[in-house]
Chains A and B, each alone.
Chain A
Amino acid sequence: MSRQRTLAGRNYGPIYSYPMGIWFSLFFILPIAIIVTYSFMKKGLHGGVEWEPTINAYRQMFTSSYGKLFLRTIFVTFTATILSIVIALPCGYAMARSRHQTILLFLVIIPFWTNSLIRINAWIAILGNEGFINETLKRFGMITEGLPLLYTQRAVILVLVYMYLPYAILPIFTAMDKFDFSLLEAARDLGATKPQSMFKVLLPNVRSGIVTAIIFTFIPIFGAYTVPLLVGGKDSYMIGNVIVDQVTKIRNWPLASAFSMVITVVSTVGVLWMMGTSAREAARMKSAGVKQESGV
Chain B
Amino acid sequence: MSLPGGQRNRLKGCDISIEGVSKFFGNFHALDAATIKIHKGEFFSLLGPSGCGKTTLLRIIAGFEMPDAGIVTFDGKNIIGIEANKRQSNTVFQNYALFPHLSVYENVAFPLRIRKVPGAEIDRKVMEYLHLVQLDAHVQKKPNQLSGGQKQRVAIARALINEPSVLLLDEPLSALDAKLRSNLLVELDAIHDQIGITFIYVTHDQSEALSVSDRIAVMNQGKVLQIGTPFEIYESPATEFVAKFIGETNLFDSRVVECIKHDEDEFMVTLDVPELGKQIKVTDYDETQNGQQVSFTVRPEKIRITLEEPHTNGKELNVFRGIVEEPVYSGFQSKFYVRLENGTVLKVFKQHQNYLEDGPEISWKDTVYVSWSANDGYIVEVINQ
Taking Cβ atoms with an 8 Å cutoff, the residues of A that contact B are: 180, 182-183, 185-193, 196, 200-201, 204-205, 207, 285, 289-290, 292-293, 295-296
Residue of B nearest to A289 (CB): B140
Question: Separation in Å of the A147 CB from the closest CB of chain B?
Answer: 44
Which of B91-99, B201-209, B214-222 forms part of the interface with chain A? Answer: B91-99
Whose C-beta in chain A lies nearest to the C-beta of B87? A189
Contact B140 A190 (CB under 8 A): no
Contact residue among A192, A204, A207, A285 (Cβ-Cβ distance under 8 Å from B85):
A192
Q: Measured between alpha carbons, how far is A204 from B107 in the docked complex, in Å?
A: 13
Contact (Cβ within 8 A) B83 A187: no
Question: Is there an interface contact between A191 and B115, defined as CB atoms closer than 8 Å?
Answer: yes
On whether the beta carbons of A292 and B111 are closer than 8 Å, the reply is no
Contact A188 to B114, CB < 8 A, known contacts A180-B97, A289-B103, A296-B127? no
The answer, among B95, B111, B162, for a CB contact under 8 Å with A182, is B95
Question: Shortest beta-carbon distance, A58 to chain B, in Å?
Answer: 43
Report the bound CA distance from A289 to B100 in whole Å: 15
- Given the complex, which residues of A lie within 8 Å of B100, measured CB to CB? 183, 205
Q: Is B285 an interface residue (CB 8 A)?
A: no
Complex Cα–Cα for A292 and B110 (A): 16
Q: Is the CB of B140 within 8 A of A192?
A: no
Residue from A182, A188, A200, A292 in contact with B139 in the complex, judged by beta carbons closer than 8 Å:
A292
User: Are A183 and B99 neighbours in the complex by a CB distance under 8 Å?
Assistant: yes
Interface residues of B toward A: which range? 20 to 34
Alpha-carbon distance between A183 and B95 when the two chains are bound, in angstroms: 10
A249 to B162, CA, bound (A): 70
Residue numbers in B under 8 Å from A295 (CB-CB): 123
Inter-chain contacts of B90 with A (CB < 8 A): 189-190
Q: What is the chain B residue whose CB lies nearest that of A185?
A: B64
Residues of B near A182 (CB, < 8 A) are 93, 95, 97
A sample of 28 inter-chain contacts (CB < 8 A) reads A180-B95, A180-B97, A182-B93, A182-B95, A182-B97, A183-B99, A185-B91, A186-B93, A188-B63, A188-B64, A188-B84, A189-B62, A189-B64, A189-B84, A189-B90, A190-B85, A190-B158, A190-B162, A191-B111, A191-B114, A191-B162, A196-B114, A200-B110, A205-B99, A205-B100, A289-B105, A292-B140, A293-B139
Q: Are A205 and B101 in contact (CB under 8 A)?
A: yes
- Which residue of B85, B101, B140, B159 contacts A188 across the interface (Cβ within 8 Å)? B85
Across the interface, name the chain A residue whose C-beta is closest to B84: A188
Looking at the assembled complex, report how far the CB atom of A196 sits from the nearest CB atom of chain B, in whole angstroms.
6
Measured in the bound complex, the distance between the Cα atoms of B159 and A205 in whole Å is 21
Q: What are the interface flags for B322-357 relative to A under an 8 Å C-beta threshold, 1 for contact and 0 otherwise?
A: 000000000000000000000000000000000000
Measured CB to CB, the closest approach of chain B to A202, in angstroms, equals 10
Q: A188-B84, A190-B158, A292-B139 are in contact. Are A183 and B105 (CB under 8 A)?
A: no
Are A188 and B83 also in contact (CB < 8 A) when A182-B97, A196-B114, A292-B140 are? yes
